[in-house]
Chains A and B, each alone.
Chain A
Amino acid sequence: MVWASRLAFCSRNACFGVTVMVKSINKMIANKKVLLIAAIVLLGLTGGVAYAQTAPQPTPAGSTFEQRLAQRKSERTITLDDKDIRRIESRCKGSQSTLITIQQELAKTIEERKTQHLKIDGKLWIAIGQLKIANQDTFELEGLKASYNKQVATFDDLTKEYTQAIDDTIVVNCVTDPQGFKAVVETARIYLQEVRKQSGVIRAHLLDSVKPALSKSGEKL
């Protein structure tokens, strides 16, 4: 628009030059847009590739460390340059010491969380029992309790895999196999996020579904 208003005041020859200039500028802007779009698409694709890696699958029961390591390597497809390899080789022993501390704390945390889940389950069981004795309909609450139990079972499975992955990060010979070390660390990171997510699902279920249903049952009495 600015360019068009300026063109109205110019002579014929000069206007020709200006129009050419405007066209080239427009082309440049268009090219920039194309470049920008291409860059965004490229970034999206690379991000997509990063997330398109196969999600870690549960390890088969009774699998050996070598089997699990091979599985994690194939799932994560880690490629390291020389600089990364040197860095991991020089620092991974220290990382494994930290991971041992995490492993010990994790065992306690998971045990406490299990106790907490069992407590909640027991309270739900008591509430349903009391409501049944009072001849109240417990169908909804029983369904919610069943969902809760399923969610807790999923959480337990995920914590099991997370713990296993942490164990593997400690066992792997990180100096001779930096790719393997990186693969199991990445797997453990994914499981950590999954555990957090599942914990959030349980919390949301209790707060948004179970508690309101309990309140509703209490109000009917």
Chain B
Amino acid sequence: MQPSDYNQQPQPSPQQSTVQDRPQVVPPMQATQPPMMQENTPNKGLNKKVVYIALAVVGLLLLIAVLTIVLLSGDEPEPTVQQPAAVPSGTVPASGSSIEQINNAISQDVSAIDDADDFPEDQLSDDVLDL
């Protein structure tokens, strides 16, 4: 076969184009179009994915940066300002006087509790309720 025969072969002659032959001509046209579509969509999807990933990475970096700034700025004043006030008396080892102070404070709390005033015995008596 000569090389020119390759070009002539796919083009049917008008004489050969019968009803039976038509479907043989059309399918190659249809078969060639979908591969072109398939070639375009993965590229677009890939591009989109790349853009999304890039955006996500940038966003994440920004978030980390903001958090780092916030944490660093928040940590700085704490040791200087809050440390003296944040030390509760409970962390001090017990001494005779400290326990005595607590004991006295409990005594005051107990004496402040007045059942006769808070829950009078006759609170619901017939006389009070006028029954």
Q: How long is the Cα–Cα vector from A201 to B102 in the complex, in angstroms? A: 21
Q: Nearest Cβ in chain B — how far from A155, in angstroms?
A: 11
Interface size on B, residues (CB 8 A): 31
Q: How long is the Cα–Cα vector from A91 to B103 in the complex, in angstroms? A: 49
Query: What residues on A are CB-neighbors of B123 within 8 Å?
Result: 102, 192
Contact mask A128-161 → B, CB, 8 Å, 1/0? 0111011010000000000000000000000000
Query: What residues on B are CB-neighbors of A124 within 8 Å?
Result: 102, 106
Are B89 and A126 neighbours in the complex by a CB distance under 8 Å?
yes
Looking across the interface, which residue of chain B has its beta carbon closest to that of A88? B131
Q: A99-B129, A203-B113 are in contact. Are A196 and B106 (CB under 8 A)?
A: no
Q: A87-B131, A129-B91, A211-B106 are in contact. Are A217 and B119 (CB under 8 A)?
A: no
Answer whether residue A109 sits at the interface, using C-beta atoms and an 8 A cutoff: yes
Query: What residues on A are CB-neighbors of B118 within 8 Å?
Result: 109, 112-113, 199
Contact mask B86-118 → A, CB, 8 Å, 1/0? 001111111110111011011101101101001
A interface secondary structure, majority: helix
Are B119 and A215 neighbours in the complex by a CB distance under 8 Å?
no
Are A126 and B102 neighbours in the complex by a CB distance under 8 Å?
yes
Query: What residues on A are CB-neighbors of B96 within 8 Å?
Result: 218-219, 221
Interface size on A, residues (CB 8 A): 46
Which 3 A/B pairs are nearest by Cβ-Cβ distance? Answer: A218-B99, A130-B94, A134-B93
The interface of chain B, by Cβ under 8 A from chain A, is 88-96, 98-100, 102-103, 105-107, 109-110, 112-113, 115, 118-119, 121, 123-124, 128-131
User: A94-B130, A218-B103 given. 11 additional CB < 8 A pairs?
Assistant: A98-B129, A109-B118, A113-B118, A116-B112, A120-B110, A129-B91, A130-B89, A130-B94, A192-B121, A192-B123, A200-B115
